[in-house]
Structure 1
Amino acid sequence: MNKRTTVFIGYCKYVSRSGAQEHEIAVSMLKHAFLEFFHTKFRESAVKRDGCGKPYYEENPNLKFNITHCKEGVAVALCDYEVGIDAESMRQVNFRTVKKSCSRGECSYVLGTRATDADGNGRLKQEETKRFLALWTLKESYVKMTGKGLLVPFDTVCFFPPDPCTLREGSTINVKGFDRLCRHYLHVSDRLILALTVQREETAVEPELVWKEYPYESL
C-alpha cells in the first residue's frame, strides 16, 4: 500500500466542563475525521491499546491516529505513518517544572537570564509560559508518537527552540528535534498551543499538513 504524505489534524476550541465531555468530543471528532481522511467509519469499540498504552485501531492497524485534549480544546491527528499530537492551553507553570523537564539549553530559551537563579516555586511570566508550553507540547507529541509515554525522561527529548517571534496567532512552524527521522510542528490558535510529531521513512519528503477547525456546535 502506498502511504500518503498528508497529515490531517482536526481541532475544536471550547471551555471544558469535565474529562467525560472532552472524551465525548474527541470521539465525535474521530468519527468525522475517519470519514473525511480514511473514508471509513470509526468505531470506538475498535480502539485498543498496546503494551505501553498507545491507542491503535484494531480493525486496521495501518490507520494511524492520536488524540489530545485540555481544558480549552480537543485535537485529533490522522496519518498513514505513526503520529502523536498534544495540546495545551495557557496555565501557570513554576520554575521547578521547567528545570525538571527541559535540557539546560531549553531552560535558557524559556527563562533567559533568569535560568541560573530562578526559585523552584516561582511562577513563569506570560511569554516564558508560552515558550515552555511550546516545548512541553513538542515533547508530549513525540513520546505519544513513540508510544513510550512517561518511560522517557522529558529532559532527554530535546528540541532546537523556535524563535519566540514565530509563535504568533494562526502560525504553523517546523521545529527541529533530536530525532531526525521525525517531523515536528507547532500551531498556535488563540490560547491553544498544538504540537504534532510525524514519523517519516522518506526523510527528504515534507508532509502536507491539513488543519481543520471543527466548530463546537457541529460535534
Structure 2
Amino acid sequence: MFFKDDDEAILLEFYLNEGQLSFSTEEEHTDKANRLMHYIRTMSGIEIWSLLKEHRVDFCDITTKNIPQFSDIQSIDKVLNIVESSVDGKLAYRNIGYFFNKDASEGAQHKYGENHYKLASSIGLVTVEKPYSVTPLYYAYLLNKRTQKKEIIAKLLLNIPIIQKILIESEKSFYNVPDLLYLYLSKSTARRRGSSIKQIINSICDIMPETERATMKKNIEWRYE
C-alpha cells in the first residue's frame, strides 16, 4: 500500500506508542484518528504487521502494567457502550464492572471494570486517564460495519508490546509464552493473563493469511510450569 509520509507516521505513532496519538487540538486529534482508522480498515493484518516489523527496534518495553488481563475479548464493545453512555464525567471502574456482574462485591466489580477498561484504552478507543471517556478513534470505529469491527479490533491489538514480542519471536522458532510471562509475573498471575494473551493471539491469527496463521499456531506454545 502507498503511503504519504505523514500517514505512515500516524500509523507508526499509534502502534509504537501503545495506542496513543499526540495532538495539539481536538481538531487535530479527530483528523489523525479518522486517517488512522481509514488505513486500519483498508490494510490487511499482514500489511500492518509487516510495516511494524520494519520498526521493531522502536517497540515499547513490556511491563507488568501493559500485559492485559480480561475475561472475554468480545466484551470490548460492551465497555465502549458503557463509557459512551456516561455523560457526567464521573465514571469509575466499579460502574463498568457493575454492568457485567451486578451481584459481585464492589471490589470484584472494580477489578473487572478496571481490567476491561484498560483493554479498551490499550487500543486507543477510550482515554487512559480520568475523566474516562471515548476517544475520536472510537467515533471513527463506530462508522464501520458490524462485520468489519471484529477484524479492526484484531488489527488494533497488534500495538500491545507483549503481543509484538510473541509474534516476532514465534516467526523464528517455537516460543513458549509462559516463559515470557514469568519474567514479569508470578506463576498464578501468569496463568490468568496467559488466558487473555491467548485470546488476543487467536484473534490476530484469524486475520492473517494461511501461511502466517499456520506458523503462529505451530510455533506459539503454552506450556505452564
TM-score bracket relative to the smaller structure? under 0.3
TM-score, normalised to structure 1, is: 0.25
Higher strand share: 1
